[in-house]
């Protein structure tokens, strides 16, 4: 079994005191499974990874594996801008029983392409788990080029990529110059359909927290050749995806989850709650 077409970059649930709330996390996981998610990405950006301690991340990995019970795959976000620390966390995630690892580009230190290559190669060699690359230059301040991805794709356990550059030309080059079994996922909800159309496999989504069933339907329609119907659904979902990114993520999606009865608690600083005006605009898209 692969990792599927619809993956969710899962939010982290906190209690009123901003401590991990595993009971709430269980409800999030069950909701995601029921609405079509096939793999959970744990402790990624949407999970507020910069404000999670390593101990909290490991606790989340173990809990997600225990709750999933093999019904969906669990991918652990273990990437950072410290290669040695990422190696340690990756080994601990593997011991926790996760099914795969996601490695974001090292942020802030802005390595060269050779530095990116060596960083990922070093971590990949420390584990037997499949690796998902995560290119998000808007947050990491460095772009992993198609050439670097092509080099990394020759490493046996580097199997897939979440591509959030928004550059369809670059994504085309990645798909064109990597092996047929190397999978590229959209990292932008509103580009799910365009990326499918150029050979992408699916989406690592934030919006799937609240429109997972519809996103799954859109992907299925496209794969069945019903392109016009998929396009129409894409147009319908676009304002909702846009609303969920109208303020720093995951602030809007946590608010909408609460609106539909799934409480995930507050965000941690430096994230802050929506203003009244922002909240009104976000919820308007879901009325």
Which residues are annotated as catalytic?
134, 162
The DSSP code for 261 is T
Instruction: Please list the residues that pair with 101 across neighbouring strands.
Output: 76, 131
Q: At what angle do helices 208-223 and 251-259 cross, to 10 degrees?
A: 100
Give the ranges where 35-161 is alpha helix by DSSP (H): 54-68, 83-95, 113-124, 137-140, 146-152
Transcribe 156-181 into DSSP letters: TTEEEEEE-S--HHHHHHHHHTS-TT
Give the torsion sign (CA, 54, 41, 135, 84): positive
Rounded CA-CA distance 11/46 in Å is 5
């Amino acid at each position: 079994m692969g990792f599927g077409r619809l993956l969710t970059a899962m939010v982290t649930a906190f209690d009123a005191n901003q401590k991990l709330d595993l009971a709430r996390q269980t409800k999030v996981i069950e909701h995601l499974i029921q609405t079509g998610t096939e793999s959970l990405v744990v402790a990624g950006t949407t999970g507020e990874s910069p404000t999670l301690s390593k101990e909290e991340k490991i606790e989340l990995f173990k809990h997600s594996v225990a709750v999933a019970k093999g019904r969906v795959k669990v991918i652990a976000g273990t990437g950072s801008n410290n290669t040695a620390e990422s190696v340690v966390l990756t080994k601990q995630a593997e011991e926790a029983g996760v099914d795969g690892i996601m490695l974001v580009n090292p942020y802030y230190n802005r390595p060269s392409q050779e530095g990116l290559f060596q960083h990922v190669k070093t971590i990949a060699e420390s584990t037997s788990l499949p690796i998902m690359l995560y290119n998000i230059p808007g947050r990491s301040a460095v772009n992993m080029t198609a050439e670097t991805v092509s080099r990394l794709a020759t490493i046996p356990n580097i199997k897939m990529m979440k591509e959030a550059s928004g550059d369809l030309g670059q994504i085309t080059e990645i798909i064109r110059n990597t092996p047929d079994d190397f999978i590229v996922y959209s990292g932008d909800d509103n580009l799910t359909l365009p990326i499918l159309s150029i050979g992408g496999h699916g989406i690592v989504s934030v919006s799937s927290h609240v429109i997972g069933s519809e996103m799954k339907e859109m992907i299925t329609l496209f794969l069945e050749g019903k392109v016009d119907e998929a396009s129409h659904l894409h147009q319908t979902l676009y304002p909702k995806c846009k609303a969920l990114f109208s303020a720093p993520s995951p602030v809007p999606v946590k608010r909408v989850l609460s609106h539909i009865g799934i409480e995930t608690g507050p965000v941690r600083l430096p994230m802050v709650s929506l203003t009244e005006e922002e909240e009104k605009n976000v919820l308007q898209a879901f009325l």
